[in-house]
Amino acid sequence: MIIKTTISEEEGQQFAKALNNSEHGSRSSYLRQIINEHLTQVKNKELEKGVEPKNENDLKQENFPIRINKFLKDGADKRAKEYGIKRAQWIRNLIQANLTKKPVLLDASINELRTANRELAAIGRNINQLTKVLNRSIELDFSDQVSHQHLIELKTEIEKNRAAINRLVKVSHGVWEINE
């Protein structure tokens, strides 16, 4: 197949410079490499994205019997037991996490996230209260040293919560062996 295109003089100079710095002996072999690399990157990016449901029918559950070796079944049983779920649920979550490239959170993780969310909401309320105090202290010409200390404490709490959430996501990725 012959492909023809027109490029600007600047693009031509860039191409010639890159060709000279490559190990390719001809323009056509260098162009083939560029095209192959691009197509490989596009294909890899599509794989990295994961799959998503397109409509409500895609969310319908279907029976999908599979045969696996005994050692794999035993391994799945062991993992499922570690997380307090049934083998079938563990396998479904494993497949979903690896195909969608998103962690599937278990009930314990969801409860921890709810707790973290409540704490972040409380921190938000504290920030609003501190903002009111700071605005009032400016009007009344008070020192804001105490409020500054409170802001530092809030920042520390926010960082702790963010770290806890990141740990949950990382653990969930590890459970389902998703490569980031």
Residue 3 within a domain: no
How many structural domains compose the chain?
Answer: 2
Share of the chain above pLDDT 70, in %: 81
Name which of 4, 30, 6 is nearest 17 in CA terms: 30
Q: How confident is the model at residue 1 (pLDDT cuts 50, 70, 90)?
A: low
Two tokens, residue 156:
């520390």
Q: Note down the domain range covering 35.
A: 9-49
- Mean pLDDT across the chain, nearest whole number? 77
Residue 157: inside a domain = yes
Q: Is residue 55 assigned to a domain?
A: no
Say which range, 91-100, 111-120, 131-140, has the weakest mean pLDDT: 131-140
Question: Could you report the per-residue pLDDT of 35-81, keeping only the tens digit for each?
Answer: 777 777 766 666 666 777 788 888 787 887 778 889 888 988 998 89
Q: Rounded CA gap, 43 and 46, in Å?
A: 5
User: Using CA atoms, how far apart are residues 158 and 120, in angstroms rounded to an integer?
Assistant: 7
pLDDT for the residue numbered 74: 92
Burial track 125-144 (b if 16+ CB lie within 10 A, e otherwise): eeeeebeeeeeeeeeeeeee
Query: Sign (positive/negative) of CA torsion 30, 31, 36, 37?
Result: positive
User: Which pLDDT band, with edges at 50, 70 and 90, does 173 fall under?
Assistant: low
Average pLDDT estimate for 8-21? 81
pTM: 0.47
Structure tokens at 102: 């998103």
pLDDT band per the 50, 70, 90 thresholds, residue 172: low
Q: What is the per-residue pLDDT across 127-165, written as a single tens digit (0 to 9) for each?
A: 888 777 777 776 666 555 556 677 778 788 888 888 877
Q: Hey, what long-range contacts does 143-152 have (CB within 8 A, 24 or more apart)?
A: 150/126
pLDDT reading at 84 higher than 80: yes
For residue 8, the SS3 value is: coil
Indicate if the pLDDT at residue 2 is higher than 80: no
In the listed set 49, 64, 80, which residue is the last one of a domain according to the structure? 49
What's the DSSP call for residue 59? Answer: G
Q: Given a cut of 80, is residue 21 above it in pLDDT?
A: yes
Q: Is 59 within the bounds of a domain?
A: no
In a domain, 152, yes or no: yes
